[in-house]
Amino acid sequence: MYRKLKEFYTLRNQIFLGFSLVMLIIIGVSGVFVYDKVSNLLKNNAERHIQQTAVQANGRLDALIGQIDSLMEQVANHSTVQQLLLEEMNGKTVTFNQRQSLQQIVSSYQAYMPSVGSLELYTTDYRLLFPIKEGSLSNRIDARYIAEANKQKGRLIWIGVDPNDDQSLLAIRQVSLMDRWFSRGGYLIARIQRSYFQLNDPLSGRGETILLVSDEGQLLGSSETPQLSLLPLLNSEDQTVDLMGKEYVKVKLRSDKTNWTLLVLTPVSYVTEGLSVLKTVLLYSGGIGSLLFLIMSFFLSTMITRPIIHLIRAMRKSRLGVLTPNTESVSTMELRELNNTYNSMVANMNDLIRVVYEKEVLQSRTELKALQAQINPHFLFNTLEAFNWSLEEKGEEELAGLVVAMSRLFRYIIGNPNKEEWVTLGEEIDHVKRYLQIMEMRLGNRLSWEIDLSPQEAVVPVPKLLIQPIVENSIRHGVESSIGEGTIRVVITPSVREGWTRITVQDNGPGMDEDTLRALYNTLEGTGGPSNFAKGTGVGLVNVQRRLKLYYGGDGVKMEGLIIESKPSEGTVISFEIPNNGGYTDETEHENDSNRG
């Protein structure tokens, strides 16, 4: 379980999870903000539409009422109606023919407004003049409406539902006699069909219901006729109401001309329709946006971590002992710089490993050559010491000195494997002197030598056996190849480069022509040439050249190596320069010590 959790907490997963959480939070907050703002906008827009619908419905109601008012005013002011009511006021009885004449007048007005079912004309003492039948105004309507009509003095008063016909509404007005100072002459009642007050707009497409309700909660005008009482709906202050199993948004408007209430009921589904669409759009857009961002986050995290994974794999290979560069191409600048730095480090470490390896191999070869078939050094030294004592006892002091020189020479060459391979120039020159003494014993008068070393250069550090192979090469190819007396001269002087020392080995041998010299240079550089230059009892010039490059050619130091000057019959001069500080730091010295250990 812990391992699975550990594998989950990778850089790619953390980047992917972090990006995803940030995106989800942003989408969530933005969605809530947009939903809140747009929903408020939609609600306000719907409320404005509902208010506008209510105002339009109220305007239509006022127009319908105005038509009824105008019709009744024209009938009340008609000359025949005025004449008949005036005669009634003067005490004359209206004849049957006169009452029958009203039929033609009323019919002509009803032809213009079919919704007016009938018109009734009453006298001041509440007797029915038209239509021609028996009837009384006090029995027709409630007395309070008569009193209200008298109070309004000719203005239209709406009564409500006709007691004799629930599909009709009644309206009354007082008839004022113009020839009698607009005094009360009678009453005119109009019976209007309820369908006349059909206020719904079928073209709105919103499914609205407009109800005309009296103060008693009685439905006055609508295409629908609910059987329940509308008084709770009228008195409710809630904006959202329930009617016949449906939820509506309610708007109330009071009509000043009728004292009735206009209820505009808009389905809640119309108000929330935009919100549902908005919610769906936000959910789909948020889902698609989240999915796209998750995919982009995955690819982005993979693109960032893939070079790091390749780099880690390359590093893991390095733990197996093989330093391999990461060849994977990287497009990101920072990761490309990291990859280049790693590759440079690998290249430098490989070069360092190669140099250390070659140094160790070269040192091993040098020691093996010096051992001459792995002769036990203690046995050799003891044998030479026995020779020395034996010669001294016999009085052969010259031969005894030669044996001592040879013993010290072998001791210097073989040395102690735990001893430092770096020596001073003074120690290296002492070894060269012992070697020349032995060669002088062998060659006799054919060899003379000269060494020039100042105390300042004697302390300069130098790798062991760096000068003696050059002297050996000069004796072999210079002195031994000459017929006459050969001279070896070793000169150690300060270089023209500050902090450097120049070492020169010169002989007066036969020298070399240009072709031979060029072949020797090729051999030193490893590009071909005669191999006999690299052979001999010592480690040879090739060995010296390689050691100079290895020990002094690093860290940006310009190391030219061996410089050979030679002409036929003029001898050969071999020289090289080394830095006075030994060409190595303390860290390098400690590293060499650890490698040798």
Q: What is the CATH number of the domain that holds 498?
A: 3.30.565.10
Strand locations in 290-385, DSSP E?
none
Q: How many CA atoms lie within 13 A of 232 on its CB side?
A: 6
CB-based contacts of 233, cutoff 8 Å, min separation 6: 213, 217, 241, 243, 250, 263
Which of 193, 211, 243 finishes a domain? Answer: 193
Rounded Cα–Cα distance for residues 18 and 532 (Å): 71
pLDDT tops 90 at residue 574: yes
**Gap between the Cα atoms of 226 and 211, Å rounded:** 10
Whether pLDDT at 529 is above 90: no
| pLDDT of 417 higher than 70 | no
Domain end marker among 145, 175, 193:
193
pLDDT at 418: 47
The residue type of 458 is A
> Among candidates 173, 175, 177, 174, which has minimal Cα distance to 156?
173
255 lies in some domain: no
Specify the higher pLDDT residue, 110 or 270: 110
Average pLDDT of the residues in 57-69 = 83
- Residue 465 is classified by DSSP as T
Q: Which of 150, 173, 193 is the last residue of a domain?
A: 193
Q: Are strands 500-507 and 571-579 parallel, antiparallel or unpaired?
A: antiparallel
Question: Does residue 336 form part of some domain?
Answer: no
DSSP conformational letter for 95: P
Percentage of the chain lying above the pLDDT 70 cut: 77
Token output for 31: 């969605």
pLDDT score at 520: 87
Which distant-in-sequence residues (6+ apart) come within 8 Å of 17 by Cβ? none
Give CA–CA dist 265/561, Å, rounded. Answer: 107
8-state DSSP, 477: I
Residue 489: pLDDT band (50, 70, 90) is: very high
Q: Is residue 205 part of a domain?
A: no
User: Which distant-in-sequence residues (6+ apart) come within 8 Å of 389 by Cβ?
Assistant: none
The closest of 512, 529, 486 to 564, measured between CA atoms, is 512
The SS3 of residue 97 is: helix
Percentage of residues in the chain having pLDDT higher than 90: 9
| 61 class by beta-carbon count within 10 Å (0-12 exposed, 13-18 middle, 19+ buried) | buried
State the Cα–Cα distance between residues 367 and 269, nearest whole angstrom: 102
The CA distance from 222 to 299, in Å, is 64
List helix spans (H) across 372-454. 377-394, 397-414, 425-443
State the CATH number of the domain containing residue 157: 3.30.450.20
Considering the chain, what is the average pLDDT of its residues?
77
pLDDT bin (cut points 50, 70, 90) of residue 459 is: very high
565 is in which domain, residue-wise?
Answer: 420-596
Give residue 141's identity as a one-letter amino acid code.
Answer: I
Q: Is 264 a domain residue?
A: no
Which pLDDT band holds residue 426 (cuts at 50, 70, 90)? very high
Residue 7, judged by CB atoms within 10 A of its CB (0-12, 13-18, 19+), counts as exposed
* Alpha-carbon distances of 359 from 175, 293, 408, 499, rounded to whole Å: 137, 58, 25, 24
Give the pair of three-digit tokens for residue 313.
């794999």
Q: How much is the CA Rg of the chain, to the nearest whole Å?
A: 65
d(CA 360, CA 376): 21
**Confidence check: pLDDT of 573 > 90:** yes
Q: What is the pLDDT of residue 438?
A: 81
- Residue 249's φ and ψ, nearest 5 degrees, are -95, 125
- H or E element, residue 119: strand 116-123
Q: Which position has the token pair 């038509």?
A: 67
Per-residue pLDDT, averaged over 312-328, amounts to 72
Q: Please answer whether residues 102 and 205 qualify as being in contact, where contact means their C-beta atoms are separated by less than 8 angstroms.
A: no
Cα distance from N-terminal residue to C-terminal residue, the chain = 46
Between strands 486-494 and 447-452, the pairing is parallel
- 276 Cβ contact list (under 8 Å, min separation 6): none
Is 262:253 a contact under the CB 8 Å cutoff?
A: yes
Closest to 518 (Cα-Cα) out of 507, 509, 505, 530: 530
CA distance 19 to 21: 6
Amino acid at 363: Q
Residue 38 CA to residue 279 CA, distance in Å, equals 10
**pLDDT of amino acid 339:** 78
- Whether 366 is covered by a domain: the verdict is no
CB 297 within 8 A of CB 15: yes
Report yes or no on 325 lying in a domain.
no
pLDDT: which is higher, 57 or 586: 57
pLDDT at 505: 95
User: pLDDT band at residue 51, thresholds of 50, 70 and 90?
Assistant: confident
Task: Measure the CA dihedral 65/69/72/74, to 10°.
Answer: -130
User: How many domains in the chain?
Assistant: 2
Cα–Cα distance, 280 to 176 (Å, whole number): 65
Answer yes or no: is 401 within a domain.
Answer: no
Q: Answer whether residue 554 is part of any domain.
A: yes
